[in-house]
Amino acid sequence: MTATLSIDALHALVAGALTRHGASQAQADAVARTVTAAERDGAASHGIFRVPGYVASLVSGKVTGDAVPTLTYPAPAVVSVDAGLGFAPLALETGIPALVQVARETGVAALTIRNCFHFAALWPEVEAVAAEGLVGLAATAATPMVAPAGARVPFFGTNPLAFAFPRPNGPPLVFDQAAAAMARGEIMLAAEAGEQVPEQVGIDAEGQPSTDPAAILGGAQLPFGGYKGSSIALMVELLAGAVAGDLFSPEAGRADNRDGGPPRGGEFLLALDIARFGHGEGWRARSEAFLDALSALDGVRLPGARRHANRATALAQGVSPDPNRLKTLRTLAGAD
Amino acid sequence: MTATLSIDALHALVAGALTRHGASQAQADAVARTVTAAERDGAASHGIFRVPGYVASLVSGKVTGDAVPTLTYPAPAVVSVDAGLGFAPLALETGIPALVQVARETGVAALTIRNCFHFAALWPEVEAVAAEGLVGLAATAATPMVAPAGARVPFFGTNPLAFAFPRPNGPPLVFDQAAAAMARGEIMLAAEAGEQVPEQVGIDAEGQPSTDPAAILGGAQLPFGGYKGSSIALMVELLAGAVAGDLFSPEAGRADNRDGGPPRGGEFLLALDIARFGHGEGWRARSEAFLDALSALDGVRLPGARRHANRATALAQGVSPDPNRLKTLRTLAGAD
């Protein structure tokens, strides 16, 4: 039976599951904000589906549940947060206000998150930047799951790239897309549901094309769009592994304890304050006209629009997560 | 008959064709450097094939042949060049040293080029940034040629995104890829050669799938990788049209005089100095190990590697451009 909960009630369950397994209240609340945001926006693959993995990584000791992120300013346009081997969300909440402040002074600024464990979507962080009126871009690597174009073994992570652009009269334009043809969370959901996935999503352990999600999870995902998507995945590796100064996906794969939780890794964020680019204010109206013309084309929906529509419904009516996952969450939270 | 020329001899012909039609020596030399670099690297679609278009835009008066780019510093991490309605290469040569200098101070910096006409590949500018040891990223829009995912009419430009990462013992890792499934120059070359192009490259004027390059040039190109490539094209529009503060592709299409030369537009560049990111020097060896492991995978070639191999050959032996194009170039240069 499907239950409907308020966002606050769901937050309390998620945070409770984490504190019950060793997370500090601050770490748990930050994770719970991203998990409930995903449920709220209809993005189930980053919702409460992820809580057992978060808990597993606390139980195994891989993640430091009471880590306190520390903020430094290594260069005039660079902000860095050492997450202290905690989860990413609290580190991001620590760093993003500083990133925004610096970008407003310098015009462009970067934030790097290091020594953290990232298990969430990237749109929450770029939306937070866009909510301050700035352009946001984010990238993070993972563990080997995607075969580079031409190869038949996993090497890149799914390597999402997210981008947000502020709009004056509503939510920002936002995309958050894996460099893989399909997000791994979606493949996991298909495996759970016993469904096939489209062709070109992945190959099996022998390197042969497959539409069986379980075979692909044991083989390799493919990048979207062939060698061009593969280049995007490579760029993400270099932004997260070299620029942010944390593990490349193959390094993270070797370091991981396979507890089912998030891998260790870094994240790269960029913020741009267009108002500081010296060409006045005309871009605001021109950008709106451009985006309005785009969304007026037959067959086009702006990235992020469906998620924002789901959000409005959820804020008014609450959310109805998958009953089995909600049951698991209640058990982990000791709420049964 | 195929003639072989030195890079210097080809440069003189290209620059001569431009000065003979009203370009200043400085504008002509800068364009000639990008055109000869493309021939040198075996990238024919940005080589002397483009010279008639450059000349046409001088003859029509669309481009200001003796424009002198001006450099400003609108914010601590932002450099801007007003190209004065000249060609992009001289504006880039004016701005890139300043971009590099600022990025070394601030860690991350942006360069915008405005009021310019861009008709070249983007890898020359990101390679120039990487040659200074920094990470480079560049993006520019164009005129409507690509249908957004779901749509059947051209709206986005081909919207290349280029990225370069420095390597200590050789040329940088570089990619420069259109957000279109195939670069327009390649489609034009296919049309010229009477060849078909692959499926998924474009649609005809009625919105139907086509492999006829002429039909696609009169219809719309498609983005690579479906809606994800379309999102990349959209990001490029917002970087070039809003952040750089110049025309979006639909605006540039309306403004263009259809002389066959480059459209007006802006360009966005980003430079990152990893040495300023506060995590020491370990990234250099780790990045090399990562890239070596990637290139050791069966079936993988690093982006840019083929171009750099062609370059070594051309620098030693000269280049042998297409005879018909060389004949046209000689005529334009008054060298026949």
Over residues A169-226, the pLDDT tens digits come to: 999 999 999 999 998 888 988 999 999 999 999 999 999 999 999 999 999 999 999 9
Nearest to A115 by CA among A86, A75, A157: A86
Q: Select from A71, A72, A279 the residue whose CB has the most chain B CBs within 10 Å, as the one to mutate to test that interface.
A: A279
Q: Which amino acid is at A211?
A: T
User: Mean pLDDT of all residues in chain A?
Assistant: 96
> Rounded distance, CA B40 to CA B9, Å?
12
Rg over CA atoms, chain B? 20
How many other CB atoms sit within 10 Å of the CB of residue B66? 13
Q: Kindly state the tokens that stand for B18.
A: 């431009």
Question: Which residues, at least 6 apart from A97, have a Cβ–Cβ distance to it below 8 Å?
Answer: none
Q: Nearest-CA distance from A40 to chain B in Å?
A: 23
- Nearest C-alpha of chain A: how many angstroms from B186? 16
Pairing relationship of beta strands B264-272 and B220-221 according to DSSP bridges: unpaired
Are residues A44 and A38 in contact, defined by beta-carbon separation less than 8 angstroms? yes
| pLDDT surpasses 70 at A269 | yes
Instruction: Tell me the chain B residues in contact with residue A177 when contact means C-beta distances shorter than 8 Å.
Output: 228, 231
- How far apart CA A162 and CA B243 sit, in angstroms, is 17
Q: Is A21 a catalytic residue?
A: no
Question: Which residue from A102, A70, A106, A105 is spatially nearest to A85, judged by alpha carbons?
Answer: A70
Q: pLDDT by residue (tens digit) across A103-124? A: 999 999 999 999 999 999 999 9
* Segment B299-308 mean pLDDT: 94
Q: How does strand B70-75 pair with strand A264-272?
A: unpaired
Partner residue opposite B283 with nearest CB, options A242, A250, A283 = A242
CB contact under 8 A, A155 and B294: yes
Q: Calculate mean pLDDT across residues B165-193.
A: 93
Residue of B nearest to A239 (CA): B135
pLDDT band at A336 (very low <50, low <70, confident <90, very high): confident
d(CA B171, nearest CA chain A) in Å: 16
For CA atoms A274, A275, A280, A282, give the dihedral sign: positive
Closest CA to B47 of B56, B34, B58: B34
The answer to whether residue A1 scores a pLDDT higher than 70 is: no
CB contact under 8 A, A272 and B243: yes
- Note whether B49 and B36 are within 8 A (CB): no
Per-residue pLDDT averaged across B295-311, rounded?
A: 94
Q: Which of A77, A224, A227 sits opposite B106 (nearest CB)?
A: A77
User: Has A118 been annotated as catalytic?
Assistant: no
Which chain A residues are closer than 8 Å to B299 by Cβ?
150-152
Are B38 and B47 spatial neighbours (Cβ–Cβ below 8 Å)?
yes
Tell me: the pLDDT tens digits for B232-272?
A: 999 999 999 999 999 999 999 999 999 999 999 999 999 99
pLDDT per residue over B88-119, tens digit each?
Answer: 999 999 999 999 999 999 999 999 999 999 99
How far is the alpha carbon of B252 from chain A, nearest alpha carbon, in Å? 12
Give residue A292's pLDDT: 97
Annotated catalytic residue within A11, A21, A39, A46: A46
Shortest distance, CA A112 to any CA of chain B (angstroms): 8
Residues 6+ apart with CB under 8 A from B70: B81, B82, B84
CB within 8 Å: B76 and A243: no
Instruction: Give the residue from A156, A232, A268 with the most B CB atoms within 10 Å of its CB, the best one to mutate.
Output: A232
8 Å CB contact of B277 and A303? no
Secondary structure of chain B in the HEC alphabet?
A: CCCCECHHHHHHHHHHHHHCCCCCHHHHHHHHHHHHHHHHCCCHHHCHHHHHHHHHHHHCCCCCCCCCCEEEEEECCEEEEECCCCEHHHHHHHHHHHHHHHHHHHCEEEEEEEEEECCCCCHHHHHHHHHCCCEEEEEECCCCCECCCCCCCCCECCCCEEEEECCCCCCCEEEEECCECCCHHHHHHHHHHCCCCCCCCEECCCCCEECCHHHHHCCEECECCCHHHHHHHHHHHHHHHHHCCCCCHHHHHHHCCCCCCCCEEEEEEEEECHHHCCCCCHHHHHHHHHHHHHHCCCCCCCCCHHHHHHHHHHHHHCECCCHHHHHHHHHHCCCC
pTM given for the model: 0.97
A241 interaction partners in chain B (CB closer than 8 Å): 283, 286-287, 290
Tell me what pLDDT residue A2 has: 82
DSSP three-state, residue A12: helix
Question: Does residue B1 surpass a pLDDT of 70?
Answer: no
Q: Are B80 and B91 in contact (CB under 8 A)?
A: no
* A303/B75 touch (CB, cutoff 8 Å), yes or no: no
User: Are B148 and A245 inside 8 Å of each other by CB?
Assistant: no
Residues in B closer than 8 angstroms to A149, CB to CB, are 300
What would the two tokens of residue B332 be?
Answer: 């334009």
Question: Are the Cβ atoms of A109 and B112 closer than 8 angstroms?
Answer: no
**Treating both helix axes as pointing N-terminal to C-terminal, what angle do A25-40 and A123-131 enclose, rounded to 10 degrees?**
90
Q: Is the per-residue pLDDT at B189 higher than 90?
A: no
Chain A residues touching B252 at Cβ < 8 A = none
Regarding predicted confidence, which is higher, B198 or B1? B198
Q: pLDDT > 90: what percent of chain B?
A: 96
Q: Any residues with CB less than 8 A from the CB of B173 and at least 6 apart, and which?
A: A234, A238, B164, B165, B167, B291, B302, B303, B304
User: With contact defined as beta carbons under 8 Å apart, do A43 and A307 qualify?
Assistant: yes
- Inter-chain touch B77–A107, beta carbons under 8 Å: yes
Residues in chain A: 336
Please calculate the CA angle B256-B259-B261 and round it to the nearest 5 degrees: 85
The phi and psi torsions of A270 (rounded to 5 degrees) equal: -130, 140
| Strand B209-210 with A108-117, pairing | unpaired
B221 token code pair? 């190109």
Per-residue pLDDT reduced to its tens digit, B111-151: 999 999 999 999 999 999 999 999 999 999 999 999 999 99
Q: Kindly list the catalytic residues of B.
A: 45-46, 186
Of A78, A226, A287, the CB nearest to B107: A78
CB contact under 8 A, B228 and A225: yes
Instruction: Check: CB of residue A34 under 8 Å from CB of residue A89.
Output: yes
The pLDDT, as a whole number, for residue B336 is 76
- Residue A186 annotated to the active site: yes
Count chain A–chain B contacts defined by CB atoms under 8 A. Answer: 243
Which of B112, B222, B251, B272 is the best substitution to test chain A (most A C-beta atoms within 10 A)? B272
Give the minimum alpha-carbon distance from A11 to chain B in angstroms, rounded to a whole number.
31
ipTM: 0.97
